[in-house]
Chains A and B, each alone.
Chain A
Protein backbone atom coordinates (compact mmCIF):
# COMPACT_ATOMS: atom_id res chain seq x y z
CA UNK A 1 0.00 0.00 0.00
CA UNK A 2 1.28 3.48 -0.83
CA UNK A 3 1.26 6.45 1.50
CA UNK A 4 -1.46 9.03 0.96
CA UNK A 5 -0.19 12.15 -0.80
CA UNK A 6 -0.03 15.44 1.10
CA UNK A 7 1.72 18.69 0.14
CA UNK A 8 5.09 18.94 1.85
CA UNK A 9 4.35 22.40 3.19
CA UNK A 10 1.57 24.96 3.48
CA UNK A 11 1.88 28.45 4.90
CA UNK A 12 -0.40 31.30 5.82
CA UNK A 13 -0.58 34.51 7.80
CA UNK A 14 -2.29 34.79 11.18
CA UNK A 15 -6.05 34.98 10.80
CA UNK A 16 -6.08 33.42 7.35
CA UNK A 17 -7.54 30.06 6.40
CA UNK A 18 -5.49 27.29 4.86
CA UNK A 19 -6.36 23.85 3.51
CA UNK A 20 -4.26 20.70 3.46
CA UNK A 21 -5.12 18.00 0.95
CA UNK A 22 -4.73 14.25 1.38
CA UNK A 23 -5.04 12.26 -1.83
CA UNK A 24 -5.53 8.53 -1.86
CA UNK A 25 -7.34 6.04 -4.04
CA UNK A 26 -10.68 4.31 -4.39
CA UNK A 27 -9.28 1.61 -2.08
CA UNK A 28 -8.76 3.89 0.89
CA UNK A 29 -9.82 7.57 1.12
CA UNK A 30 -12.48 7.20 -1.54
CA UNK A 31 -13.88 3.96 -0.15
CA UNK A 32 -14.33 4.51 3.59
CA UNK A 33 -15.43 7.24 5.94
CA UNK A 34 -12.54 6.38 8.27
CA UNK A 35 -10.29 9.33 7.46
CA UNK A 36 -8.51 10.99 10.39
CA UNK A 37 -6.24 13.98 10.83
CA UNK A 38 -3.49 14.51 13.42
CA UNK A 39 -1.43 17.50 14.56
CA UNK A 40 2.14 16.94 15.68
CA UNK A 41 4.38 19.53 17.32
CA UNK A 42 8.17 18.95 17.26
CA UNK A 43 9.28 16.22 19.62
CA UNK A 44 5.71 15.36 20.60
CA UNK A 45 3.32 12.55 19.84
CA UNK A 46 0.55 13.33 17.34
CA UNK A 47 -2.83 14.55 18.56
CA UNK A 48 -6.16 13.58 17.01
CA UNK A 49 -7.94 16.51 15.35
CA UNK A 50 -10.55 14.91 13.10
CA UNK A 51 -12.04 11.43 12.77
CA UNK A 52 -14.53 9.91 10.33
CA UNK A 53 -13.74 12.61 7.75
CA UNK A 54 -15.29 15.56 9.57
CA UNK A 55 -15.89 14.81 13.26
CA UNK A 56 -14.00 16.67 15.97
CA UNK A 57 -13.19 14.99 19.29
CA UNK A 58 -14.20 16.84 22.40
CA UNK A 59 -11.78 19.66 23.18
CA UNK A 60 -10.55 20.24 19.63
CA UNK A 61 -11.00 23.79 18.38
CA UNK A 62 -13.82 24.46 15.91
CA UNK A 63 -11.19 26.20 13.75
CA UNK A 64 -10.27 22.74 12.51
CA UNK A 65 -12.64 21.13 10.00
CA UNK A 66 -12.48 18.17 7.66
CA UNK A 67 -14.12 17.22 4.38
CA UNK A 68 -13.77 14.80 1.52
CA UNK A 69 -14.43 14.78 -2.22
CA UNK A 70 -13.82 11.59 -4.10
CA UNK A 71 -10.38 10.22 -3.29
CA UNK A 72 -9.17 13.45 -1.66
CA UNK A 73 -9.73 14.51 1.92
CA UNK A 74 -8.99 17.99 3.21
CA UNK A 75 -8.25 19.63 6.53
CA UNK A 76 -9.05 23.33 6.81
CA UNK A 77 -7.63 25.51 9.53
CA UNK A 78 -9.47 28.81 9.85
CA UNK A 79 -8.29 31.84 11.79
CA UNK A 80 -4.70 30.60 11.65
CA UNK A 81 -2.78 31.09 14.90
CA UNK A 82 0.91 30.85 15.77
CA UNK A 83 0.23 27.72 17.81
CA UNK A 84 -1.05 25.97 14.68
CA UNK A 85 2.50 25.78 13.34
CA UNK A 86 3.12 22.04 13.33
CA UNK A 87 3.13 18.94 11.16
CA UNK A 88 -0.22 17.51 10.07
CA UNK A 89 -0.87 13.90 9.09
CA UNK A 90 -3.90 12.27 7.52
CA UNK A 91 -4.76 8.59 7.72
CA UNK A 92 -7.32 6.28 6.19
CA UNK A 93 -8.60 2.75 6.54
CA UNK A 94 -7.73 0.68 3.48
CA UNK A 95 -9.36 -2.24 1.69
CA UNK A 96 -6.64 -4.63 2.81
CA UNK A 97 -7.87 -4.25 6.39
CA UNK A 98 -4.97 -2.03 7.24
CA UNK A 99 -4.43 1.66 7.74
CA UNK A 100 -2.33 4.05 5.72
CA UNK A 101 -0.93 7.45 6.66
CA UNK A 102 -0.21 10.47 4.54
CA UNK A 103 3.24 11.84 3.73
CA UNK A 104 2.77 14.68 6.21
CA UNK A 105 2.49 18.47 5.79
CA UNK A 106 4.44 21.15 7.60
CA UNK A 107 2.32 24.22 8.33
CA UNK A 108 4.16 27.50 8.75
CA UNK A 109 2.53 30.60 10.19
CA UNK A 110 4.14 33.61 8.54
Chain B
Protein backbone atom coordinates (compact mmCIF):
# COMPACT_ATOMS: atom_id res chain seq x y z
CA UNK B 1 0.00 0.00 0.00
CA UNK B 2 1.22 3.51 -0.85
CA UNK B 3 0.29 6.83 0.74
CA UNK B 4 1.23 10.24 -0.63
CA UNK B 5 1.23 13.61 1.09
CA UNK B 6 1.76 16.98 -0.58
CA UNK B 7 3.47 19.85 1.22
CA UNK B 8 4.36 23.40 0.30
CA UNK B 9 3.13 26.99 0.41
CA UNK B 10 -0.57 27.52 -0.13
CA UNK B 11 -0.04 31.04 -1.45
CA UNK B 12 2.42 32.09 -4.14
CA UNK B 13 2.86 35.56 -5.61
CA UNK B 14 2.52 36.11 -9.36
CA UNK B 15 5.76 35.69 -11.33
CA UNK B 16 7.32 33.65 -8.52
CA UNK B 17 8.07 29.93 -8.37
CA UNK B 18 5.63 27.37 -7.03
CA UNK B 19 7.41 24.58 -5.14
CA UNK B 20 5.71 21.44 -3.86
CA UNK B 21 7.06 18.24 -2.36
CA UNK B 22 5.36 14.88 -2.10
CA UNK B 23 6.35 12.44 0.63
CA UNK B 24 5.61 8.78 0.00
CA UNK B 25 4.84 6.16 2.63
CA UNK B 26 5.15 2.55 1.60
CA UNK B 27 6.75 1.16 -1.54
CA UNK B 28 8.84 3.89 -3.17
CA UNK B 29 11.67 2.16 -4.98
CA UNK B 30 9.17 -0.17 -6.59
CA UNK B 31 9.76 -1.23 -10.19
CA UNK B 32 10.26 0.55 -13.49
CA UNK B 33 6.55 0.00 -14.16
CA UNK B 34 5.61 2.96 -12.00
CA UNK B 35 6.29 6.67 -12.00
CA UNK B 36 5.52 9.67 -9.80
CA UNK B 37 3.37 12.43 -11.19
CA UNK B 38 1.75 15.78 -10.50
CA UNK B 39 -1.82 16.52 -11.59
CA UNK B 40 -3.75 19.72 -10.94
CA UNK B 41 -7.37 20.77 -10.92
CA UNK B 42 -8.61 24.38 -10.97
CA UNK B 43 -11.78 24.91 -8.99
CA UNK B 44 -14.79 23.54 -10.82
CA UNK B 45 -12.71 22.30 -13.74
CA UNK B 46 -11.15 19.11 -15.05
CA UNK B 47 -7.85 17.46 -14.28
CA UNK B 48 -4.59 18.46 -15.97
CA UNK B 49 -1.52 16.23 -16.13
CA UNK B 50 1.60 18.29 -15.35
CA UNK B 51 4.26 15.65 -15.79
CA UNK B 52 5.82 12.54 -14.36
CA UNK B 53 9.21 11.30 -13.20
CA UNK B 54 10.72 7.87 -12.70
CA UNK B 55 13.00 6.90 -9.81
CA UNK B 56 15.83 7.08 -12.37
CA UNK B 57 15.18 10.80 -12.72
CA UNK B 58 13.86 10.53 -16.26
CA UNK B 59 10.91 12.90 -16.66
CA UNK B 60 8.20 13.84 -19.15
CA UNK B 61 6.25 17.07 -19.02
CA UNK B 62 3.01 18.42 -20.41
CA UNK B 63 4.06 20.21 -23.62
CA UNK B 64 2.00 23.25 -22.67
CA UNK B 65 3.84 23.61 -19.34
CA UNK B 66 7.24 22.22 -20.24
CA UNK B 67 8.99 25.59 -20.41
CA UNK B 68 8.04 26.41 -16.80
CA UNK B 69 8.09 23.04 -15.04
CA UNK B 70 10.74 20.80 -13.58
CA UNK B 71 10.52 17.73 -11.39
CA UNK B 72 13.03 15.93 -9.23
CA UNK B 73 13.10 12.79 -7.11
CA UNK B 74 14.99 11.90 -3.93
CA UNK B 75 14.76 8.16 -3.37
CA UNK B 76 16.64 8.34 -0.05
CA UNK B 77 13.96 10.60 1.39
CA UNK B 78 11.10 8.90 -0.50
CA UNK B 79 10.13 12.28 -1.93
CA UNK B 80 9.57 13.87 -5.29
CA UNK B 81 9.12 17.54 -6.08
CA UNK B 82 7.58 20.00 -8.50
CA UNK B 83 8.79 23.46 -9.42
CA UNK B 84 6.73 25.73 -11.63
CA UNK B 85 8.22 29.09 -12.59
CA UNK B 86 6.61 32.39 -13.48
CA UNK B 87 3.20 31.50 -12.10
CA UNK B 88 0.04 33.47 -12.81
CA UNK B 89 -3.50 33.36 -11.46
CA UNK B 90 -4.23 30.66 -14.04
CA UNK B 91 -1.99 28.32 -12.05
CA UNK B 92 -4.30 28.49 -9.04
CA UNK B 93 -5.52 24.94 -8.47
CA UNK B 94 -5.55 21.91 -6.23
CA UNK B 95 -2.32 20.05 -6.89
CA UNK B 96 -2.24 16.28 -6.47
CA UNK B 97 0.82 14.09 -6.25
CA UNK B 98 0.15 10.59 -7.50
CA UNK B 99 1.65 7.26 -8.48
CA UNK B 100 1.07 6.30 -12.07
CA UNK B 101 1.77 3.16 -14.05
CA UNK B 102 3.13 2.43 -17.48
CA UNK B 103 -0.31 1.20 -18.47
CA UNK B 104 -1.56 4.74 -18.12
CA UNK B 105 -3.49 4.71 -14.90
CA UNK B 106 -3.09 6.40 -11.54
CA UNK B 107 -3.64 4.03 -8.65
CA UNK B 108 -2.65 6.16 -5.67
CA UNK B 109 -3.47 9.82 -5.06
CA UNK B 110 -2.46 12.31 -2.40
CA UNK B 111 -5.24 14.27 -0.73
CA UNK B 112 -4.39 17.34 -2.79
CA UNK B 113 -3.17 20.76 -1.74
CA UNK B 114 -4.67 24.09 -2.80
CA UNK B 115 -2.18 26.55 -4.22
CA UNK B 116 -3.42 30.08 -4.78
CA UNK B 117 -1.49 32.54 -6.92
CA UNK B 118 -2.23 36.06 -5.71
CA UNK B 119 -0.44 39.18 -4.62
Contacts and interface: CB of A to CB of B under 8 A. Distances in A.
A101 B111 contact: no
B109 A51 contact: no
B46 interface: yes
Interface residues of B, number: 25
Contact of B112 (A1, A45, A52, A89): A45
B118 interface: no
Contacts of B96: 45
Contacts of A24: none
Contact of B64 (A1, A45, A91): A1
A36 B101 CA distance: 11
A3 B46 contact: yes
A32 B104 CA distance: 10
A98 B104 contact: no
Contacts of A99: 49, 52, 100, 104
A35 interface: yes
A101 B46 contact: yes
Contacts of A57: 105, 107
B85 to A, nearest CB: 19
A38 B104 CA distance: 12
A1 B62 contact: yes
A35 B63 contact: no
Contact of B46 (A45, A96, A102): A102
Interface in A53-110: 57, 89, 91-93, 96-104
A100 B112 CA distance: 19
Contacts of A45: 96, 109-112
A46 interface: yes
Contact of A98 (B62, B101, B110): B62
26 contacts: A1-B63, A1-B64, A3-B46, A3-B48, A34-B104, A34-B105, A36-B106, A38-B47, A46-B47, A47-B109, A51-B104, A52-B103, A52-B104, A52-B105, A57-B107, A91-B47, A91-B105, A92-B104, A96-B63, A97-B60, A98-B51, A98-B61, A98-B63, A99-B49, A99-B52, A101-B39
